Structure 1
Amino acid sequence: MREYVKKIASFATSGLVVACIAGWVPATVLAAEKEKIEERPILIQGPMPIEAEKFAKKLTDVKIEKSGSFVFYIGTLDNYPVIVSKTGKGMENTAANTAIAIEKYHPIAIINQGTSGGHDPDLNVGDIVLGKRTVNTGSLKSGDLGKNQGSNPMIWGPMDLMASEGSGSDPNAKKIRYYEGDKDLLASAIAVKNTYTKGKVVEGTIASSDFWNDEIDRINWFHVNYGSSVEEMEGAAGAQIASAYGVKFLGIRVLSNNKSNGGKYNPATAEGNQDYVYEVVKHYISTLKSK
């Protein structure tokens, strides 16, 4: 009996191979392959434990994988694969983390989320900025000053590292490069913004650099010249790498402080932001399943 079963299985397998070679594949096989292709995971990035671990606890069937210093919580949300990545702080960490995640997990979309400092005096602690644009405000070229002429950051200008392979003197490099937030992710974020009750949810420009700006005049300079709504230390690096791979990207940042209007630091805003991003991801998953 056992040998008979083996022969039947062998015949079925060989039949499927022959069918595939002949150009005919059963509909059930095609459907399974289509589902496999469509269910590329959604990647949620958070720099610090307070910006990632609460979201990770919302996933089911979680397993943890590590690559270098980076931690990936791999699970599901509404029966769809979702990965939460703890990137660590800073542009270099985020760029490396994003590249590893894309190469290893092939996400369909990336949401970089966490806390931020306000640049716009009309925004308050607890408000959320959806990154319609993300920009690197740490890529700068100084003024041409000689010995004993000091330094004047107010005359520094942008340097677009992606403009060419030439030097910083290339005129094409003297523009501000913005990374546009993905329209489908942005649409899901807007669709559920009324679920967030701890502040406003607005579209804006997220600025990123490996620099903690604590000077009011400097903050205002970026707000005027770059249109920055908030600043943090990760988003533009993630956006740059996602763009290089052609992966959908959106930054979502909550104001944990705002020196431009005296808003005091509140770390609890990180949890509220993760709750909101959770609703965004659920909505986005529903749009993927409806296609």
Structure 2
Amino acid sequence: MYYIHKHNIFRLVIIAFLTVIGHCAWATSPTTHNMKSVEVSSPNAPLQPIMIQGPMPIEAQYFTALLSNVTIEYAGNAVFYKGTLDGYPIVVAKTGKGLENTAAATAIGIERYHPRLIINQGTSGGHDPSLKVGDIVLGERSVNASNFKTPRLAQGEGSNPLNWNPMDIMASEGSAGEGSSAKDAEKLRFYLGDKQLIALASSLANQYERGSVVKGTIGSGNFWNNELDRIAWLNKNLGTSVEEMETASAAQIVHAYRTPFLGIRVLSNNITNHGEYDPTTAEDCQAFVAKVIKAYISNIDG
């Protein structure tokens, strides 16, 4: 009985082995049935769009008109125009004016569209007397030029903005104005533009006919400075080439999301050298940014 039992076990093992082999052969062999079929491939990951920001209609409409297959989406005060340029997905964000609108639109745009890079562009006022209306500044740096702490003065002692101290609101989670953390906050915070985008834009400077294309510092704040002494102070102490109301707030949000970023601003006026306001510069800036984006798209691998 022992040998019969052992023999039966051996037969069962052989049968199980042959069954597995047969199943594997059947699973890997080509289909031979005559039924109709279709093979559905795994989809490719969607391309990350490029986002172009402009605060006012005149700073967004020209670029939007360059897009194909445009759809429009709204969020808060922002309007997002989705389309393609040279077959590549683009989102033009009309952010609205000011630091708050721009910061909100930037965060919404990143969360919703996951852009591979963001360019904030539009008009600006000159701080550097050597720059003329129509010149373009590539934001090698941007800075919030309205973050200041005033010295303590008694009632009746007036106010002197030329004595204000810088205040870095991102220095710590403590107070930026009082207490032990306040001293660490007495500094400027500059956000650097993406070096590759700056290099690409600089390489196209000779294709811009309205004026010069230079690297510089973009100062942002919810103000419109007409005091020449204040403008000169900002230019000297912050190194500002131009002022506007958006770039630094976008840069601050973009930095938190680790997204490549560049500010590109055209001078629409410059009271330091009597350069009168010219709104047509907004279109010139967008046309130059379009050249930068087209060159970027043409260099994307694959």
Question: What is the CA distance between 1:166 and its match in structure 2?
Answer: 1.0
Identity of counterpart residues, as a percentage? 56
Say whether 1:40 aligns with 2:48.
Answer: yes
**The one of 105, 108, 133 aligned to 1:100:** 108
**The one of 169, 179, 182 aligned to 1:161:** 169
In structure 2, the residue corresponding to 1:261 is in which secondary structure? Answer: coil
Query: d(CA) in 2 for partners of 1:41 and 1:171?
Result: 41
Residue 194 of structure 2 aligns with which residue?
A: 182
Report 1:138-287 matches (<5 A): 138-168=146-176, 169=178, 170-287=182-299
In structure 2, the residue corresponding to 1:229 is in which secondary structure? Answer: strand
Question: What is the CA distance between 1:75 and its match in structure 2?
Answer: 0.5
Residue 132 of structure 2 aligns with which residue?
A: 124
1:184-228 per-residue CA deviation (whole Å, 9 max, x = no partner) reads 211221121111001000000000001111100000000000000
Query: d(CA) in 1 for partners of 2:74 and 2:196?
Result: 30
Query: d(CA) in 1 for partners of 2:301 and 2:84?
Result: 14
Query: d(CA) in 1 for partners of 2:151 and 2:296?
Result: 45
Report 1:77-92 matches (<5 A): 77-92=85-100
Query: d(CA) in 1 for partners of 2:52 and 2:166?
Result: 29
1:243-283 per-residue CA deviation (whole Å, 9 max, x = no partner) reads 01001110000000001111110000001011000001111
Residue 110 of structure 1 aligns with which residue?
A: 118
Query: d(CA) in 1 for partners of 2:269 and 2:69?
Result: 35
Say whether 1:133 aligns with 2:145.
Answer: no
**Max Rg structure:** 2
Query: d(CA) in 2 for partners of 1:134 and 1:41?
Result: 23
1:155-208 per-residue CA deviation (whole Å, 9 max, x = no partner) reads 001100111011124222111100000012112211211110010000000000
Query: d(CA) in 1 for partners of 2:217 and 2:273?
Result: 18
Say whether 1:64 aligns with 2:72.
Answer: yes
Q: Any unmatched runs of 5+ in structure 1?
A: 14-27
Query: d(CA) in 2 for partners of 1:220 and 1:75?
Result: 42
TM-score (norm 2): 0.85
Residue 24 of structure 1 aligns with which residue?
A: none
Indicate if the aligned counterparts of 2:191 and 2:251 stay in contact, CA closer than 8 A.
Answer: yes
Query: d(CA) in 2 for partners of 1:259 and 1:220?
Result: 11
TM-score (norm 1): 0.88
**RMSD, matched Cα:** 1.5
In structure 1, the residue corresponding to 2:60 is in which secondary structure? Answer: helix
1:67-102 per-residue CA deviation (whole Å, 9 max, x = no partner) reads 122111101111111110100100000000000000
Question: What is the CA distance between 1:144 and its match in structure 2?
Answer: 1.3
Indicate if the aligned counterparts of 2:77 and 2:101 stay in contact, CA closer than 8 A.
Answer: no
Question: What is the CA distance between 1:239 and its match in structure 2?
Answer: 0.3
Q: Any unmatched runs of 5+ in structure 2?
A: 1-33
Question: What is the CA distance between 1:44 and its match in structure 2?
Answer: 0.2
Amino acid at match of 1:255: L
Residue 83 of structure 2 aligns with which residue?
A: 75
Query: d(CA) in 2 for partners of 1:247 and 1:163?
Result: 21
Indicate if the aligned counterparts of 2:97 and 2:245 stay in contact, CA closer than 8 A.
Answer: yes
**Is the helix fraction higher in 1 or 2?**
1
Question: What is the CA distance between 1:118 and its match in structure 2?
Answer: 0.0
In structure 2, the residue corresponding to 1:124 is in which secondary structure? Answer: coil
Deviates more, 1:236-245 or 1:160-169: 160-169
Query: d(CA) in 1 for partners of 2:203 and 2:73?
Result: 32
Point out 4+ residue stretches in structure 1 off by more than 4 angstroms. Answer: none
